[in-house]
Amino acid sequence: MTDKPTDTSEELDEKTEAVAAEVVEETETETETPVIEATPLEKAEAEATEMKSRWLRSVADMENYRKRIGREKQDIIRSAGASVVEALLPVLDNMKLGLQAAENHPEAKDVTFGFKMVDDQLKRALSEQGLEELIPDGEAFDPNFHECISHQSSGEVEEDKVIQTVRAGYRLNDRLVRAASVIVSSGPEKA
């Protein structure tokens, strides 16, 4: 049998402690970085800079809020009259039909003239509120603004152009209130 040197537990403990101490010394020297503490003046300057930045952000947020509220207020004002205008559109239509019927009766010339003045005054008052009448005769058909109620062949009007406006459309402050009802050309009659 060969004799193997055996270490006693005390010798092993001493070796382990020595190796552990070397590892600890190596890691401490590698990771130790000197911590420089800021002076009270530097701390105060950093805090002041952060507070100024926060204040500027708050001022900008408040200004953006004011602008947004202003835009929303203008939008509400513009759209507030929409329901009133929509209620008046049938009145405009009936006034127009009445005036067209009255033109066929010469004995009602004076009454027709008076109603024509009222119709013009009503249209002028509504246009001052942003109402725009759409009568697209001769224009290209646009399904965003026109409602096609019929197609009709025509040798004079190109295909997909409006031949006649049956009922006027209206736009209030760039928002379509009612599409114009139109008859659209289907081009020349095919033999």
* pLDDT 10s digits, 25-49: 655 555 555 567 879 888 999 999 9
Q: 189 or 116: which carries more pLDDT confidence?
A: 116
Q: Where does 134-191 sit in CATH, by number?
A: 2.30.22.10
Domain-by-domain residue ranges, the chain?
134-191
Residue 176 in tokens: 């379509």
Cβ–Cβ under 8 Å, residues 162 and 149: no
Q: Which helix (H) or strand (E) holds 32?
A: none
Per-residue pLDDT band for 21 (boundaries 50, 70, 90) equals: low
For residue range 99-119, what is the model confidence (pLDDT) as tens digits? 888 888 888 888 888 889 999
Q: Give the amino acid at 40.
A: P
Q: Spell out the alpha helix ranges (H) of the chain.
A: 9-31, 40-80, 82-102, 109-128
Q: What is the pLDDT of residue 27?
A: 53
| pLDDT digits 0-9 by tens, 141-174 | 999 999 999 998 888 888 899 999 999 999 988 8
Contact between 146 and 179 (Cβ < 8 Å): yes
Cα separation, 189 vs 154, whole angstroms: 7
| Euclidean distance between CA atoms 98 and 119, whole angstroms | 11
**Residue 184 · residue 191 · CB < 8 Å:** no
pLDDT per position as a tens digit, 55-67: 999 999 999 999 9
What's residue 1's pLDDT?
A: 46
Among 167-171, 182-186, 187-191, the range scoring the smallest mean pLDDT is: 187-191
Identity of the amino acid at 128: E
Question: What would the two tokens of residue 133 be?
Answer: 């009448």
Q: How many C-beta atoms lie closer than 10 Å to residue 172's C-beta?
A: 19
Name the pLDDT band for 124 (thresholds 50, 70, 90): very high
The percentage of residues in the chain with a pLDDT greater than 70, rounded to a whole number, is 82
